[in-house]
Chains A and B, each alone.
Chain A
Amino acid sequence: DIQMTQSPSSLSASVGDRVTITCRASQSISTYVNWYQQKPGNAPAILMFAASRLQGGVPSRFSGSGSGTDFTLTISSLQPEDFATYYCQQSFSAPFDFGPGTRVDVK
C-alpha cells in the first residue's frame, strides 16, 4: 500500500498569510494526488485533483504542484473561510488512502 504523509500536522496563520502544506507519498505516484478541505461538522470538499487541477468553483488563491513523491498545496493569501483541515489523497492505486491531515488555525 502507498503511505501518505503530510507536514506540518498543524499550523497557525493570519489572514493574508501565504500557507504551504506538503504531502509525500511512499512511492512515485506521478500526479495522482487530490486535495480536500474539511471544516468541522462537514464532509470533506474537493479542492484540487491531478496535483494541480483546480476543481470548478474553488478560488484561485489555492494552487497545487508536484509529481512523483512530493506535492504541495499553497494558499496564496489566507482568507477567514480557509481555516480548516486539509487532506491529500493518492489515486494511483487502491487503497486510495489519505494523508493524516493538516489543521490550519488562527494565529
Chain B
Amino acid sequence: QVQLVQSGNEVKKPGASVKVPCKVSGYSFARYGISWVRQTPGQGLEWMGWISGYNGDTNYAQILQGRVTLTTDTSTSTVYLELRSLRSDDTAIYFCARDSLHGGNSFLDYWGQGTLVTVSS
C-alpha cells in the first residue's frame, strides 16, 4: 500500500536550517510528484512547493523563495524539504503528500503523518 513516512519532530534555533525527509513506498517513485504543505498550530494549510519524482523539477511558493529547497534521492525513494534561516513563525507541522493527476487536475491523495518543527531560542 502507498505510504509516506516522515521523521520525528525537530527543535531548531532561529536562523538555523532544518531538513525533513519523506520516505515513500508502495508505488513507482518516478510516476508522481510530491508536494509539501505546512500547518501552523491551530491554523490552516499553506502550500509550500512541489517536486517531480521523475526529473526533480520544482515549483516553490513565492513567499518562501530563497529559503526552501526540495530534493529527491531516487535510490531510497525519499524526498527532502530543506528550510533555511528559520524564524519563529516557521513553527508548524510539515506534511508531505503525493500529488496525483486525473484529467489535468492534480490533488493530494496520500499524506505523510507530519513532522512538527519548532523554532525557539
The SS class assigned to the B binding surface is strand
**Are B112 and A43 in touch, CB under 8 angstroms?**
yes
**Are A43 and B107 in touch, CB under 8 angstroms?**
no
- B interface size (C-beta, 8 A): 24
Q: Given A44-B45, A87-B45, A98-B47, is A34 in contact with B108 using a C-beta cutoff of 8 Å?
A: yes
Q: Given A43-B95, A44-B45, A45-B111, is A94 in contact with B106 using a C-beta cutoff of 8 Å?
A: no
Q: Does A82 contact B (CB under 8 A)?
A: no
- A interface size (C-beta, 8 A): 25
Name the CB-closest residue of B to A91.
B106
**Are A49 and B102 in touch, CB under 8 angstroms?**
yes
Q: Does B59 contact A (CB under 8 A)?
A: yes
Q: Does B80 contact A (CB under 8 A)?
A: no
- Beyond the given pairs A36-B108, A55-B109, A91-B106, 8 more chain A to chain B contacts, judged by CB atoms under 8 angstroms and listed by A's residue number, are A31-B105, A43-B95, A50-B102, A50-B105, A55-B107, A89-B107, A97-B46, A98-B37
